[in-house]
Structure 1
């Protein structure tokens, strides 16, 4: 519901296809015991909601939970080859079969979408008649019926043939339907269809953007816009939960007396939170979200959220100073962190308890939301809601930082800067190609510091998956790379049995961490694909990696924040020709 099959996505169930409905009816259909409320004030403030809800975990017999709608409506019968809306086959109730042939119907393999996020049926009638007239298609003005058959000569689109029994037009294959201007040449543009909100739901503002043909199962049909936050003090205990939805009003009051009057008006009897605690939380609210920052862009506020996490990970939060309901425990290790100094690592912290909330903010089609500043994000409901669906995961982790002095000297080296610039330029080209307007493409985050921390996180995850017994897919990275940040958090935020067993925290003790880093660097010196991997001029998607492949540093998609791009193990250990490129090369004694 959050990352794979969220609102607006297509789901294939057996031989049928559905689109996940919007959340307009969820307030009534999501039962409280099956879809509990989740609070994370920092993330709620960023996304302008009051709270989050977990997707319902209903059993098979429940009538509550997620709603879906049949989409696409166009189906074909493999027996009689008719191509028409599902209802026109007169299927028996509850079944998706041809009323005449009694064989399973096949949902249309093709749909169309636009970059504004709209989704519609492929215009088969217009395609075969070479006409932009939607009304004629709807009422069948030509007098014929559409048919779809496969010649079987090839596996290409040329073998899929559409015809009309009207006899006025020749049959046409689907070849060429995926060209960028294929439907534009027919003068067909988007009409703003939003089938996840209803069969006849269209965008009231219209659309008119060009349509693109997609396969129903393409990843471009639906891409989630996910935002996440770690729960950190003072929001990391459940004490603040009863005040959810009241913060905007509470922050208007400066003195204790007015706050007390408000609490008396809201709560009957004893307050769930003491006045001192409320004032402390209000101070944090104003500090984390000052009034003049509210006009700043979303990206600026999201970076500020990460900055607060970095500060708290550095300063720690001892378990002995808090109650058992504290959800963020971060302590200094018992061992001497000085053993890590030769490696250029400082400030290791053991994150014994952490909680992460990941929320589905919106979704996009065709365009990656992270590649452009003008991404067309589709909301999850027709009317604005004061909540969003989210998942809550708890785990543990290890946080470490790189020595700033050593890092500053290393990233200023001309050879390092030149190598990273190659990746940055390639990544920027990809972002500009994906953006509708290249001038609005986001700036690539690639810097020597970021690529180094990113690759370090990957080799640590690979090493800990071998030494600590965690599947690499259950470990995640969270990077803190900026001019004033140089940290990485590796954590086990998963909802399965590999979530919080204590094994990863033990790996953060300095002596063990020293061995782990040295072992990871020795492993990174050689890849089974070398010398091709290390000496490649480009690697990865469109040259956005250098010395990186699936045999050495790439991870499962769920573990990486950046989709396995901007990786280069040469920045860790150097190359045979330029060993000085490696940040850890000198400390390994080679």
Structure 2
């Protein structure tokens, strides 16, 4: 018999190893890879479930053609990276895409009712079907997670073999197979029944598995599993309590997003070639040394004149602390917002800059005195803006806005010098409140009492979610912040009727501090629809006056009144007062604070005390 020919190893172009020919499952938009289906999140594709893989392999897997670099120096410095990367597209025409891993691994067969690992069903290659019944397998509906961000399989075997008398499990002597079936009597957890063929335990339902201490009573704690990093990733020491979650729950994954507007002198893109060299240049203390460094970095000559480099370094040092101490993350974030506020107030003229300028903010041509009775001043037309939103980390079980760094799960096992991000180019309207009138209004006892009520409730929530309540972040709730936040919401609702944009395509950016009282409402879409001109036209004083008056009048009444206005607390943790989905709440994509710290009464007053409302004169005019 003639022996078969020797097998030849396939090679790619120029004799290199071939690229991975991974099966393509489903599609997501690039923006969703930041906000919805980022690293560590669960994604359902047809009847299968996957978890988005970490970024450790993305450095080689993401090609620069489909995942270009994004530069925003101020945000990069805040997050401690050199640059950002746009996630690759995942449509049929793309060469790459987001890498995913199967999770949860536990599946059930609706025909034979077996409950076991996916591989134990011996499915054909590339398919998720039972090897015996040839029907589609069903991923486990339940997973477990801890507040540190770890994620694991639900412990069905321990749940079935728990001892009601002793509160312990008896899985050590079990060699049977698990079964899962649905009685069909109700749609509750009581109808989901799990059993074991070993005969040592009776069939039990999933009722009670979502109790806070359900898994703690079984003696189970978090083992630190990180399935998005693969099976080779070592588990971390954790030991925190585990919570049962439904696979599609929003608590399973919440992104930690940070954003910044591109403002001068960083907004024309000329500084991008220096993205990886700023840390080196900052260590040099004189002009000659910087000039020498530029000659070494760019052997063919620096693409940026030395004077511009010096100006950029000066602008960066303006955001450093005055006392030469090491800047904290909170300090840098406040400095980032302060500079944006200053630039939005001062503006710039489009005619003074090149066509590459990404920030154009102009004073409206109309008479601004018509806004004085409203207590609004300084409207600006932001005709061009660019925002970069970066995915810093993610959380589980806890709200990303109220968590501490210790509960943020990084996107990779080893530190990377970049983060995934997306660009938003669009337009907006910026306005400020009159400082003198605002200062008088803030001092009113009734106003301060309502704000203090919300601040206390929010602080209580922050302390409950913190590992150490004494180190919980302070609540930002002040009369000024709540007023600006609620005003932004009613303006978004009003402009969604006037500008041609849906409310979900508009976004707020608040500037609330002792020396700031401004609101920027801008387009939040990541395509060309974000710059149609319909929103920026609403910033002319005459139109803005009409819009604010209409928004305030609309906010005076809610279809849930009097319950909405008279409620003592509402929202998550009682962090709202007079606010509900029928009046001022917005889609989550539009709000910076997840629809908390809102109070319609601070705009229009209450029936008992109209003076609480900042815009009460509008209602009496």
The answer to whether the 8 Å contact 1:367/1:435 transfers is no
The 3-state SS of whatever aligns with 2:35 is coil
1:276 aligns with 2:303: no
Q: Distance in 1 between matches of 2:147 and 2:566?
A: 38
1:264 aligns with 2:295: yes
Out of 263, 267, 270, the position equivalent to 1:232 is 263
Deviation at 1:567, TM superposition (A): 1.4
Deviation at 1:200, TM superposition (A): 4.3
Q: Distance in 2 between matches of 1:313 and 1:452?
A: 20
Quickly say closer, same or farther: Cα 1:160–1:316, change in 2 above 3 A: same
The answer to whether the 8 Å contact 1:112/1:212 transfers is yes
Q: Distance in 2 between matches of 1:291 and 1:9?
A: 41
Q: Which residue of 2 aligns with 1:98?
A: 130
1:297 aligns with 2:328: yes
Q: Distance in 1 between matches of 2:520 and 2:394?
A: 27
1:285 aligns with 2:316: yes
Q: Distance in 1 between matches of 2:275 and 2:214?
A: 50
Out of 45, 63, 68, the position equivalent to 1:36 is 68
TM-score when normalising by structure 1: 0.95
Out of 386, 395, 405, the position equivalent to 2:436 is 405
The answer to whether the 8 Å contact 2:161/2:169 transfers is no
The answer to whether the 8 Å contact 2:388/2:424 transfers is yes
The 3-state SS of whatever aligns with 2:535 is helix
The answer to whether the 8 Å contact 1:110/1:121 transfers is yes
The answer to whether the 8 Å contact 1:191/1:202 transfers is no
Deviation at 1:299, TM superposition (A): 2.0
1:183 aligns with 2:215: yes
Q: Distance in 1 between matches of 2:148 and 2:499?
A: 45
The answer to whether the 8 Å contact 2:169/2:218 transfers is no
Unaligned runs of 5+ in 2: 1-32
The 3-state SS of whatever aligns with 1:295 is coil
1:245 aligns with 2:276: yes
Q: Distance in 1 between matches of 2:205 and 2:524?
A: 48
Out of 440, 457, 460, the position equivalent to 1:426 is 457
Out of 173, 182, 192, the position equivalent to 2:205 is 173
Deviation at 1:73, TM superposition (A): 0.5
The answer to whether the 8 Å contact 1:475/1:493 transfers is yes
Out of 561, 584, 587, the position equivalent to 2:592 is 561
1:315 aligns with 2:346: yes
The answer to whether the 8 Å contact 2:223/2:239 transfers is yes
Q: Deviation digits for residues 82-122 of structure 1, max 9, x if unmatched?
A: 11100010001111000000010011111111111111111
1:538 aligns with 2:569: yes
Q: Distance in 1 between matches of 2:75 and 2:169?
A: 46
Q: Which residue of 2 aligns with 1:216?
A: 247
Task: Report the more deviating stretch, 167-176 or 231-240.
Answer: 167-176
Q: Which residue of 2 aligns with 1:469?
A: 500
The answer to whether the 8 Å contact 2:161/2:170 transfers is no
Out of 217, 226, 234, the position equivalent to 1:202 is 234
The 3-state SS of whatever aligns with 1:498 is helix
The answer to whether the 8 Å contact 1:328/1:355 transfers is yes
Q: Deviation digits for residues 468-499 of structure 1, max 9, x if unmatched?
A: 22211111100001111100001113124530
The answer to whether the 8 Å contact 1:368/1:375 transfers is no
Deviation at 1:467, TM superposition (A): 1.6
Q: Which residue of 1 aligns with 2:480?
A: 449
Q: Distance in 1 between matches of 2:93 and 2:551?
A: 49
Q: Which residue of 2 aligns with 1:127?
A: 159
The 3-state SS of whatever aligns with 1:401 is strand
1:87 aligns with 2:109: no
Deviation at 1:289, TM superposition (A): 3.1
Q: Distance in 1 between matches of 2:183 and 2:232?
A: 34
1:146 aligns with 2:178: yes
Deviation at 1:529, TM superposition (A): 2.5
Deviation at 1:375, TM superposition (A): 4.3
Q: Which residue of 2 aligns with 1:579?
A: 610
Task: Report the more deviating stretch, 526-535 or 483-492.
Answer: 526-535
Quickly say closer, same or farther: Cα 1:143–1:530, change in 2 above 3 A: closer
The 3-state SS of whatever aligns with 1:250 is helix
Quickly say closer, same or farther: Cα 1:191–1:532, change in 2 above 3 A: closer
The 3-state SS of whatever aligns with 1:2 is helix
Q: Distance in 1 between matches of 2:284 and 2:327?
A: 23
How many residues of Structure 1 are paired with residues of Structure 2 in the alignment? 586
Task: Report the more deviating stretch, 455-464 or 166-175.
Answer: 166-175
Instruction: Describe how 1:21-32 pairs up with structure 2 within 5 A.
Output: 21-32=53-64
The 3-state SS of whatever aligns with 1:499 is helix
Task: Report the more deviating stretch, 168-177 or 350-359.
Answer: 168-177
1:486 aligns with 2:517: yes
Quickly say closer, same or farther: Cα 1:209–1:107, change in 2 above 3 A: same
The 3-state SS of whatever aligns with 2:34 is coil
Unaligned runs of 5+ in 1: none
Task: Report the more deviating stretch, 232-241 or 523-532.
Answer: 523-532
Q: Deviation digits for residues 54-100 of structure 1, max 9, x if unmatched?
A: 11014326452210000011101011111110001000111100000
The answer to whether the 8 Å contact 2:429/2:521 transfers is yes
Task: Report the more deviating stretch, 276-285 or 85-94.
Answer: 276-285
Quickly say closer, same or farther: Cα 1:94–1:233, change in 2 above 3 A: same
Out of 28, 40, 49, the position equivalent to 1:17 is 49
Deviation at 1:238, TM superposition (A): 0.7
Deviation at 1:551, TM superposition (A): 2.1
Q: Distance in 1 between matches of 2:471 and 2:249?
A: 25
Q: Distance in 2 between matches of 1:449 and 1:324?
A: 37
RMSD, aligned α-carbons: 2.0
Q: Deviation digits for residues 546-570 of structure 1, max 9, x if unmatched?
A: 2222222111111111111111222
Task: Report the more deviating stretch, 329-338 or 61-70.
Answer: 61-70
Q: Which residue of 1 aligns with 2:447?
A: 416
Q: Distance in 2 between matches of 1:373 and 1:30?
A: 30
Q: Which residue of 1 aligns with 2:551?
A: 520
Q: Deviation digits for residues 176-227 of structure 1, max 9, x if unmatched?
A: 2112222222222211111100024233x42122211111111111111100
The 3-state SS of whatever aligns with 2:509 is strand
Deviation at 1:535, TM superposition (A): 2.6
The answer to whether the 8 Å contact 1:574/1:585 transfers is yes
Q: Distance in 2 between matches of 1:419 and 1:589?
A: 22
Out of 90, 115, 128, the position equivalent to 2:147 is 115
